[in-house]
Amino acid sequence: MSNYVVDERDQKFVLYEQLEMEKLTGYPKYADFSKDVFEMVVEEARKFTIDMLEPTVEEGEKEGCTLKDGNVSVPECFREPYRLFCEGGWMTMTHDPVDGGQGMPLVLGAATREYFNVNFGFLSYTGLTEGAAHLISKYGTEKQKRKYMDRMFSGEWGGSMVLTEPGAGTDVGALKTTAKKNPDGSYSITGTKMFITGGDQNLVDNIVHPVLARIEGAPAGTKVISIFLVPKILVNDDGSLGERNDWNVTNLEKKMGIKASATCVMNFGDNGKCYAELLGEEGKGMKVMFVLMNEARIAVGIQGLSAASRAYLYSVKYAKERLQGADLANFRNPDAPRVPIINHPDVRRMLLWMKSHTEAVRSLIYYTAWCADMTLVVEDPEEKEKWGGILEVLTPIVKAYGSDIGFKVADQGIMVHGGYGYTSDYPVEQILRDVKIAAIYEGTNGIQSLDLVGRKIGQKKGKNFMSLLGEMYSFIAENEGDEKMKDLVAKLKDGVNVLAEIGAFFAKCGKEGKFLVPVGNAYPFLNLMSTVLSSWMLVWQASIASKKLDVMAKEKGADPSDWVKWAEFIKDNTDAAYYSGKIAAAKYFVNNILPEADAIATAIKTEDLTIVEIAEESFAF
């Protein structure tokens, strides 16, 4: 099913026609690259995914992970893809050459990651290793870099992200894991962690865990937590592996999805000898971990995008092949020929909903990665600050909206497949099960909405939020004179105005001491903002497509007023059909989905706090 992983045409459109990412090569940081190199890298990612990752999705699901004598085994079919993934340098493609990386743009990394997420059970091991190694690159000592980071970036050793504890969950400040400082400067860790993705696995010789813990004697709370490097196998001074460290996996979680990804319960220091090294400064653990968490949140958004893309592509394929019922014009005729279900209006409604949301999320995530690249290439401090601020605002949206849409598109995909969608005969049911976790881990989507409302839109007195609004208003000003786009742009402008209005309304509530209003409406606001941003992305794309379609139509002598010839023009030209679809997606979304933003705004402005006021006893007994 090699054509049903990523929409290659849409990916190229976003990268080269919308974002024009090849312009990044005009900056010194990326001057050694070219569009040809970028295209080659994405093509290699596609081939690797089709040849090595997609064929192991179902097999990995069936085999799952096992725990025996304290050691975890992952699907055997992952072994060869893991070797080739590491040899291909995919772990370090966007990292600094100083660390052995290739220094490629982050937006290119997002594009390749959309492919690799086809098999998230596999990617969970490589992705977390990459993130943990990057932490050491940023905060580790030179000794720690040589001791751990080099062999993690090469894939020889693994890594993870060890935060969550029983009874604490998202409330990281309630953790009970402690670190006792030893005379030699090392630490001894004691405690239990749970829901640890890749806490143990047998693809590598060693695993180095970044672990959050509180140093003995430190006060309660989140701000004074520290972070430590805890290897599975102790490393000798000469770099060779020594004895097993004092931690073990006591259980593997039984999950509804991503069964090829080992989710571990881990005990540290049962014998009081769990060796650990401080990473960074004492009491600065959350500052360090947030680097990994923010990267992970964008990665989770890409996980949602990949699920949406696959579910949509599989659904289109099924809808074009599945014969059922007569077309609308002949529905009363029992002898009418059966037609593919893509001819039925309700199926088209579902597919267009899936198409518009998937393409909007792809555009939004790639744009966010592009903003991150801009913070690395521009020299002007104010411009660097602007792109960094927009990145801050978009990160919780990418995580929450991306993962929500991944699940919702997969859900619609099951409906397109009908009864077959509920069976394992088709891949959409596994896609839905696998992607559900994306809304939960790395901070639930409710937490992301609180971060957006409580921190991000008010950062720097609202400057970052205003910068993002400014980008949208600039687009509107540049395109509202386009006769063919004016209606869509006008409706987009109304939506952006609603977003700005609610942002100001929340600020007013804060000044008046009504903090529960924005808090209670944080998740609805995230959806409002995501809907407006998606509309911007789609109208932006439609404006490009409209111009490209005009040029093609003039070359072919096609006139939109002549429906017969225009239909032939679209049918006979792949690019024309694609651009026409772009315009249709924007028109559908702006007319059918964007109004939801206005409805959310109306609800928010009522200042209704029933969710706070309802008595606990009034819920189900």
Residues assigned a catalytic role: 442
Q: How far apart are CA 307 and CA 315, in angstroms?
A: 12
Tokens 């049962």 -> residue = 270
Kind plus residue range of the DSSP H or E element containing 120: helix 120-139
Backbone CA torsion sign across 402, 404, 405, 409? positive
Spell out the SS3 assignment of 149-163.
Answer: HHHHHCCCCEECCEC
Give 373-399 as a DSSP string.
Answer: HHHHH---HHHHHHHHHHHHHHHHHHH
Residue 17 CB neighbour total at 10 angstroms: 14
Helix %, strand %, coil % of the chain (to 5): 65, 10, 25
Q: How far apart are CA 162 and CA 207, in angstroms?
A: 12
Q: Judge residue 240's burial from the number of C-beta atoms within 10 Å of its C-beta, 0-12 exposed, 13-18 middle, 19 or more buried.
A: exposed
Q: Report yes or no: 74 and 260 within 8 Å, Cβ to Cβ.
A: yes
Tokens 């409604």 -> residue = 349
Q: Report yes or no: 100 and 130 within 8 Å, Cβ to Cβ.
A: no
Q: How far apart are CA 442 and CA 301, in angstroms?
A: 11
Q: How far apart are CA 127 and CA 252, in angstroms?
A: 20
Q: How far apart are CA 309 and CA 117, in angstroms?
A: 11
Q: Nearest to residue 534, comparing CAs of 367, 302, 314?
A: 367
Q: How far apart are CA 128 and CA 292, in angstroms?
A: 9
Q: Nearest to residue 393, comparing CAs of 305, 462, 343?
A: 462
Q: Report yes or no: 180 and 216 within 8 Å, Cβ to Cβ.
A: yes
Q: Are strands 247-252 and 263-268 parallel, antiparallel or unpaired?
A: antiparallel
